């Protein structure tokens, strides 16, 4: 059984990837500092898989911790999620983001190359495209100047990995540029667990429906879209998790010891914010208290992916719908509210 290190493995996307790795016969090992996650996630993972995973609690800036992990486990690959991820916070505190996201990746790459760990799946983002000139966004779409320090750390991360590969390091890596992850595990045992006020749309929707928030403000009602609200490519987190596992398998089968590439991971379909709200109301049976407000600075008007490359190379495609994601997100929220 191959050991795979998942940094940020107790986080939203990381925890769902842990489940898919287990289902595909991998042994997942978690590294997390629990600064933006909760240890209750480990109980949820146990309920789903029946397994207690090895967990290392610590900071990705600590190279001695990576050395310890690689010494104690025969690691075959790394899936790297651990990073600060709030756009607004990155604008307010850019040095925190550059220190954590950029220096943390440097630390990981140094330790991986030193210990000859050759497979790396990197968590990137569609933020690298900014506001695209045309849709859908392909991997050939131009990279725009980032709208935030967070987005810039994703661009820098991709560049650092590519430069490391070009230097002759024995490293095979793919950056997955994914769009808007939503939903939860269908069991309701794990899901998105924001600390404080949510930064993302769906947990704000579910918390409003559960009475934890008074109302939801939809930012912008005069965009050039069918209903005036922003368009996003919402992908179920389990589809996204599966893409990471298929990406790891793809890397394992590449003969070239030096390889870097990037792929879009989305549904290929754009939905407006009001589409998402309507889907939630249909799935939950609850009328959501929301209001239309002014545009929010920095928001992209519309973006959705072309996913031909990932479908072809990874033999992967999405299985869940927007309605599925809203149903699962609401079941997760109801479980949280009952605890």
Task: Give residue-wise pLDDT tens across range 195-230.
Answer: 888 888 999 999 999 999 999 999 999 999 999 999
Q: Are 218 and 292 in contact (CB under 8 A)?
A: yes
What pTM did the predictor assign? 0.96
For residue 320, pLDDT over 70 is answered with yes
Distance CA 239, CA 184 (A): 10
**Which residues does 120 contact at the CB level (< 8 Å), separation at least 6?**
77, 78, 79, 80, 109, 112, 161, 171, 172, 173, 174, 251
Radius of gyration over every alpha carbon of the chain, rounded to an integer in angstroms = 19
- In the predicted model, what is the mean pLDDT of the chain? 95
Q: What is the pLDDT of residue 131?
A: 85
Q: What is the pLDDT of residue 195?
A: 82
Distance CA 86, CA 311 (A): 29
Q: CA 134: distance to chain centroid?
A: 24
**Which residues does 227 contact at the CB level (< 8 Å), separation at least 6?**
272, 274, 275
The pLDDT tens digits of the residues spanning 122-179 come to 999 998 998 898 999 999 999 988 888 998 999 999 999 999 999 999 999 999 999 9
Minimum mean pLDDT among 53-62, 74-83, 192-201: which range?
A: 192-201
The whole-number average pLDDT for the span 114-126 is: 96
Distance CA 65, CA 57 (A): 9
Q: What is the pLDDT of residue 85?
A: 87
Q: What is the pLDDT of residue 260?
A: 97
Work out the pLDDT band at 298, boundaries 50, 70, 90.
confident
Q: What is the pLDDT of residue 9?
A: 98
The whole-number average pLDDT for the span 311-323 is: 96
Surface-to-core class of residue 338, CB atoms within 10 Å of its CB (0-12 exposed, 13-18 middle, 19+ buried): exposed
Q: Is 58 or 198 the better-scoring residue by pLDDT?
A: 58
Distance CA 83, CA 63 (A): 15
Distance CA 198, CA 79 (A): 25
Work out the pLDDT band at 79, boundaries 50, 70, 90.
very high
Per the annotation, the verdict on 150 as an active-site residue is yes
Given 26, 98, 150, 250, which residue is catalytic? 150
Q: What is the pLDDT of residue 37?
A: 92
């Amino acid at each position: 059984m191959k050991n795979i290190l998942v940094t940020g493995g107790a986080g939203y996307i990381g925890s769902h990837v842990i489940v898919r790795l287990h289902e595909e016969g991998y042994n997942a090992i978690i590294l997390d500092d629990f600064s933006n996650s909760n240890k209750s996630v480990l109980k949820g993972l146990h309920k789903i898989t029946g397994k207690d995973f090895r967990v290392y609690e610590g900071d990705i800036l600590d190279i001695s911790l990576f050395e310890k992990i690689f010494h104690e486990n025969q690691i075959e690959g790394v899936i790297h999620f651990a990073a600060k991820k709030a756009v607004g916070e990155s604008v307010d505190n850019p040095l925190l983001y550059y220190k954590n996201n950029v220096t943390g990746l440097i630390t990981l790459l140094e330790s991986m190359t030193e210990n000859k760990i050759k497979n790396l799946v990197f968590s990137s983002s569609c933020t690298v495209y900014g506001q695209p000139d045309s849709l859908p966004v392909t991997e050939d779409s131009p990279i725009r100047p980032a709208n935030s320090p967070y987005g810039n750390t994703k661009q820098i991360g991709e560049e650092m990995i590519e430069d490391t590969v070009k230097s002759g390091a024995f490293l095979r890596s793919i950056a997955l540029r994914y769009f808007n992850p939503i939903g939860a595990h269908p069991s309701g045992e794990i899901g998105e667990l924001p600390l404080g006020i949510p930064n993302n749309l769906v947990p704000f929707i579910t918390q409003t429906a559960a009475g934890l928030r008074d109302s939801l403000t939809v930012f912008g009602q005069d965009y050039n879209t069918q209903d005036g609200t922003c368009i996003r490519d919402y992908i179920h987190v389990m589809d996204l998790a599966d893409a990471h596992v298929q990406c790891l398998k793809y890397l394992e089968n590449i003969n070239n010891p030096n390889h870097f590439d990037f792929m879009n991971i989305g549904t290929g379909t754009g939905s407006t914010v009001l589409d998402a709200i309507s889907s939630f109301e249909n799935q939950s049976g609850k009328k959501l208290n929301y209001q239309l407000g002014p545009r929010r600075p920095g928001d992209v008007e519309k973006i959705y992916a072309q996913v031909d490359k990932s479908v072809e190379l990874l033999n992967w495609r999405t299985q869940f719908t927007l309605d599925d994601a809203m149903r699962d997100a609401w079941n997760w929220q109801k479980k949280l509210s009952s605890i």
